[in-house]
């Protein structure tokens, strides 16, 4: 199992709620949210006009992506409350089929992964016994 959280992604007048995988192995220098092309189309980011093309090194080999710098405000939403909003880069991937949160973005959203095998997490500001379960995966095709 993995930890997935519900996000509110705000880009101008477009607001989307999406389940997102928290991936501590997705190391970034800035808060980044990787999204599939299907979601990029929904947000009006595809085809990319104001994005820089880049090549990410991944465990599966090089991955071509398009980065829209400081493009969206992102917040975790849950029954217990919300995180603060964080301005994030949107990284568009042709191979991704779900939304993925980078290590820096997870830290700024104050997500504490308590048990990745069981999918348990909490906000860092909550007591340690305030655990919640992972969200279901949401595939964008």
Mean pLDDT of 130-139: 97
Return the residue matching tokens 């906000």. 123
> For residue 53, what are the β-bridge partners?
66
pLDDT of residue 58 exceeding 90, the answer is no
| pTM across the whole model | 0.96
Residue 89 in domain? yes
Instruction: Please give the tally of structural domains in the chain.
Output: 1
Q: What's the rounded mean pLDDT across residues 23-37? A: 97
Main-chain dihedrals φ then ψ at residue 27, nearest 5 degrees:
-85, 130
Element (H, E) at 108: helix 103-108
Give the CATH number, domain containing residue 48.
2.40.70.10
Q: Please indicate, yes or no, if residue 135 is contained in any of the structural domains.
A: no
Q: Give dist(CA 60, CA 40) in Å, integer.
A: 23
pLDDT of residue 79: 87
Mind listing the pLDDT tens digit for each residue in 95-129? 999 999 999 999 999 999 999 999 999 999 999 99
44-53 pLDDT, tens digit each: 999 999 899 9
């Amino acid at each position: 199992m993995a930890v997935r959280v519900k996000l509110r992604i705000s880009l101008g007048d477009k607001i989307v709620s999406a389940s997102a995988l928290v991936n501590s192995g997705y190391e970034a220098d800035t808060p980044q949210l990787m999204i599939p092309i299907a979601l990029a189309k929904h947000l009006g980011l595809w085809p990319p006009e104001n994005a820089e093309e880049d090549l990410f090194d991944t465990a599966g080999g090089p991955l071509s992506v398009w980065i829209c710098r400081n493009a969206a405000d992102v917040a975790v939403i849950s029954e217990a409350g919300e995180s603060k909003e964080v301005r994030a880069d949107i990284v568009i991937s042709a191979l991704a089929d779900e939304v993925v949160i980078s290590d820096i973005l997870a830290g700024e959203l104050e997500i504490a992964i308590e048990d990745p095998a069981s999918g348990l997490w909490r906000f860092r500001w909550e007591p340690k016994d305030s655990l919640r379960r992972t969200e279901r995966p949401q595939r964008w095709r």
